[in-house]
């Protein structure tokens, strides 16, 4: 039993008639490694079978005069320690179907991914985790990260400071009022 070739689905914008879809289908079938290509005008999608990548499919569709809607996504990446780590994450993201371009910044621990619409963020996170690193979607703007749980209340350091300084301050106040005499005196009586 032979395995079926990999399939790739891409959205297409700008097709208005059957002639448009036929032109896109013809261009896609000419790509190297493509065994079959079908274009559906109603759903505005192209399904390509064979060994090809999303970037070459996108270029072919744009060559035919249409566009592939793309979006950009940023992921927070954890566990990277060197440039080799960021390179591994980029390669793992680039292998996910639908990813056009992936760029990882080690300093900010973020990956910026350009992808076709409909590509799952869960698939991107899973690819990063398979590479041995952590990934998460950033928090929506305006939403603060959860504060770490504190074992002691905020007033605890102040109470501790008062308790520790009380033995030093009490004799000073007592000598001002006159109830306590200093332990030694400079004057001889």
Q: What is the pLDDT of residues 63-90, one digit of tens each?
A: 888 888 888 889 999 999 998 989 999 9
Is the pLDDT assigned to residue 143 strictly greater than 60? no
Across the chain, mean pLDDT equals 83
Q: What is the pLDDT of residues 20-31, one digit of tens each?
A: 889 999 999 998
58 touches 69 (CB < 8 A): no
Give the domains, in start order, of the chain with CATH numbers: 7-63 (3.30.70.100), 70-136 (3.30.70.100)
Tokens for 53, please give them: 């990548």
Is the pLDDT assigned to residue 146 strictly greater than 90? no
Grouping H, G, I as helix, E, B as strand and the rest as coil, residue 19 is helix
Between 150 and 81, name the one with better pLDDT: 81
């Amino acid at each position: 039993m032979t395995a079926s070739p990999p399939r790739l689905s891409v959205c297409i914008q700008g097709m208005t008639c059957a002639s448009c879809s036929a032109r896109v289908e013809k261009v896609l079938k000419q790509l190297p490694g493509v065994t079959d290509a079908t274009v559906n005008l109603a759903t505005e999608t192209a399904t390509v079978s064979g060994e090809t990548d999303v970037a070459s499919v996108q270029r072919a569709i744009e060559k035919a005069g249409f566009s592939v809607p793309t979006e950009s996504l940023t992921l927070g990446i954890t566990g990277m320690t060197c440039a080799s780590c960021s390179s591994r994450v980029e390669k793992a993201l680039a292998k996910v179907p639908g990813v056009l371009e992936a760029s990882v910044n080690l300093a900010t621990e973020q990956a910026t991914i350009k992808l076709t619409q409909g590509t799952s963020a869960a698939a991107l996170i899973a690819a990063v985790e398979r590479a041995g690193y952590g990934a998460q979607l950033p928090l929506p703007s305006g939403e603060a990260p959860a504060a770490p749980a504190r074992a002691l209340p905020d007033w605890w350091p102040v109470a501790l400071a008062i308790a520790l300084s009380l033995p030093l301050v009490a004799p000073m106040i007592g000598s001002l009022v006159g109830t306590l005499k200093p332990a030694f005196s400079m004057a001889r009586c």
